A and B are shown apart, each in its own frame.
Chain A
Amino acid sequence: MDERIKSFLDALAANLEGLAEDEKREALDYYEEYFSDALEEGADPGELLSRLDPPEKIAAAIRAETSIRLVNADPGLKNYSRLVKSAHAGITGPLSVFLLSLVIFTTYSIAIILFLCTVVSAAAACIILPASISEAFKIPARYIGEIAGTIGIGIFASGVCLLIAYGFYVLCRPLIRVSASLVYKMVKKGSKPGSNTVEAHQDVSGVTGPKRVCRSLRAGLIITAAGLAVSLASGLPVKLFMIFNSMKPADITVIQREFGMDGISEISIETAHSNIRLTEGGSGNISLEYEKSNWLDFDIKSDGGRVVFTERSNGRLPLFSLVSLHENRAELIISLPSGWEPGSVRLESRGGTINIESGSFPVQAKTYTGTIHLTVPADGDLQEIPPAIRAKSSKGAIFLQDKTTGAKRPYGTEYELQSPGGVTIRLESERGNIVLD
């Protein structure tokens, strides 16, 4: 065989390296046979070769053809990168190379972002479900509805995350398909005019297993819907929604206690996220009126000159540390006999609002996310000396008659009002606002 033809075939073989063995064999066989037939019919080797594209181009076209077929059958990154490799071999002009790189870079960037989104959502799904189950196990067994609801929410949320993950994954496929057909067209343009024919998106035998995907998708939807149904049936989402939107709970029990003020010098109140209102009332006793929500427990006692109230979760709601960041519209009202001045009143709530409607005795109020309102009643008694106020909020703002006030300090905002009266009201909030009227 002619030397030139031999070296042509060698170059072709070298350029087809990396292609599936049978595809490569097929192409080489074709060209070997082609030359044999041509020579047999008396063609001149030099002229014959001049009618063909150079072996690099031929190989690139074959590779592109093969890989576009694979991409169409299964538009994954693996097949795409194969196509890209063949495209690199087949494209030479600097502008084409630049455009090709641009297309490839964009595709990979988007694909990577989509892939990361898939991973993040799938990971979220993997975390949410076990977390919700472990939350559910912390709920006392008698609150079976809340347990089911918590698991239901977990199933629903992780199901949604998985569906989102699947959505991102699926988005990859049309992206790769479109990009592959672009790359493919560029490869075609690089060869001699008319040297190939395929529309890249031509019907290649069906994508594998859409039925199986459909079935698992449907199963996922059913499980997700079941989780939603269970959690809705338990009423838990509604309850959480109401709490997160600071709505008054539907189901409350009012509890009233009264204590004689004799011998009492200190009042200490602590709630998780129920609101606290401190007023000076008409009755001659210290009276506590507590609107108890059914996910909270409380404890009231009076000993050694102190009245102590504490509130905590009874374990019925999941994620109570998060729930208690939101105020519960149910209220604990403490009314003190007018004119009576206790030695100290301490009010503390994590997420609830504290309303202080008094100014004649020392009060210390503290919240984490709750708001503190201080209204010193103007009851016409102008003789009364206003209290000194020290207010401090790390992340929240301090308002004085609807205007922000206070000095900025490294740890937050601070407001101070001096008064000769000797009564000081201390207000402190980590994240909530402090409102002074």
Chain B
Amino acid sequence: MDAQMKKGLLDACVLHILTKGDTYGYKLTREITELMDVSESSLYPVLRRLETQGFLETYSAEHSGRLRRYYRITASGAKRLAEYKNGLAELKRIIDFITGGDANG
């Protein structure tokens, strides 16, 4: 997939994963990389930025004798995700149109 297109989707993916429950860096990265082909090191800057923009927040919880950092979506993050989804609905129509003839379209 086009790198530029992926860029726009990465934020949305992260926020979407977080709506299903709080999670930690490694797990989040694995989920994303199973979905799309991005470098595993690309997640940190995204998380950090989403955090400074107030779309997600972090907290630490103990896990097997050490602290693990968890990410949680905020209200404004949820709002942002909804905006993304609105935008993606249009994209989906276009994709359906382009791939209209295909069985899986």
Chain A residues engaging chain B, CB cutoff 8 angstroms: 26-27, 29-31, 33-34, 36-38, 40-41, 51-53, 57-58, 61-62, 65, 69, 191-199, 202-205
> Would you call B46 and A196 a contact (CB within 8 A)?
yes
> Would you call A194 and B37 a contact (CB within 8 A)?
yes
- Kindly state whether residue B104 has any CB partner on chain A within 8 Å: no
Distance in angstroms from A1 CB to nearest chain B CB is 13
Tell me, in angstroms, the Cα distance from A69 to B50 when the chains sit together: 12
Tell me, in angstroms, the Cα distance from A197 to B33 when the chains sit together: 14
Contact of A194 among B3, B24, B26, B68 (CB under 8 A): B3
Q: Mark B65-87, 1 if CB is under 8 A from A, else 0.
A: 01011000000000000000000
Contact of A61 among B25, B45, B53, B68 (CB under 8 A): B45
> Would you call A198 and B49 a contact (CB within 8 A)?
yes
Q: Which residue of A lies closest to B45 (CB)?
A: A65
Distance in angstroms from B59 CB to nearest chain A CB is 13
Q: Which residue of A lies closest to B24 (CB)?
A: A37
Given A33-B25, A33-B68, A41-B26, is A69 in contact with B40 using a C-beta cutoff of 8 Å? no
Contact of B25 among A30, A58, A199, A203 (CB under 8 A): A30
Closest 4 CB pairs of A and B: A37-B26, A195-B42, A194-B6, A197-B7
Q: Which residue of A lies closest to B25 (CB)?
A: A34
Contact of A51 among B10, B40, B46 (CB under 8 A): B40
Contact of B46 among A26, A37, A53, A197 (CB under 8 A): A197
CB contacts (< 8 Å) of B101 on chain A: these are: none
Main secondary structure of the interface of B (DSSP, over half): helix
> Would you call B25 and A191 a contact (CB within 8 A)?
no
Contact of B3 among A51, A61, A193, A203 (CB under 8 A): A193
Q: How many residues of B contact A (CB 8 A)?
A: 32
Tell me, in angstroms, the Cα distance from A107 to B94 when the chains sit together: 40
Tell me, in angstroms, the Cα distance from A62 to B6 when the chains sit together: 19
Contact of A34 among B6, B26, B36, B39 (CB under 8 A): B26
- Kindly state whether residue B92 has any CB partner on chain A within 8 Å: no
Tell me, in angstroms, the Cα distance from A198 to B45 when the chains sit together: 9
- Kindly state whether residue B19 has any CB partner on chain A within 8 Å: no
> Would you call B42 and A36 a contact (CB within 8 A)?
no
CB contacts (< 8 Å) of B49 on chain A: these are: 65, 69, 198
Chain B residues engaging chain A, CB cutoff 8 angstroms: 1, 3, 6-8, 10-11, 24-27, 29, 33, 36-42, 44-49, 52-53, 64, 66, 68-69
Distance in angstroms from B63 CB to nearest chain A CB is 8
Distance in angstroms from A87 CB to nearest chain B CB is 14
User: Which of the listed residues B3, B39, B48 has the most CB atoms from chain A within 10 Å of its own CB?
Assistant: B39
> Would you call A195 and B39 a contact (CB within 8 A)?
yes
CB contacts (< 8 Å) of A202 on chain B: these are: 53
Distance in angstroms from A69 CB to nearest chain B CB is 6
Q: Which residue of B lies closest to A27 (CB)?
A: B44
> Would you call A51 and B39 a contact (CB within 8 A)?
yes
Contact of B39 among A27, A41, A52, A204 (CB under 8 A): A52
Given A26-B48, A29-B69, A204-B53, is A51 in contact with B26 using a C-beta cutoff of 8 Å? no
Tell me, in angstroms, the Cα distance from A65 to B45 when the chains sit together: 7
Tell me, in angstroms, the Cα distance from A38 to B41 when the chains sit together: 13
Tell me, in angstroms, the Cα distance from A278 to B68 when the chains sit together: 102
Apart from A57-B41, A194-B6, A196-B42, 5 more pairs, CB < 8 Å: A27-B44, A58-B41, A61-B45, A65-B48, A193-B37
Q: Which residue of B lies closest to A53 (CB)?
A: B41
Tell me, in angstroms, the Cα distance from A61 to B52 when the chains sit together: 16
CB contacts (< 8 Å) of B3 on chain A: these are: 193-194
Tell me, in angstroms, the Cα distance from A36 to B69 when the chains sit together: 12
CB contacts (< 8 Å) of B52 on chain A: these are: 69, 204
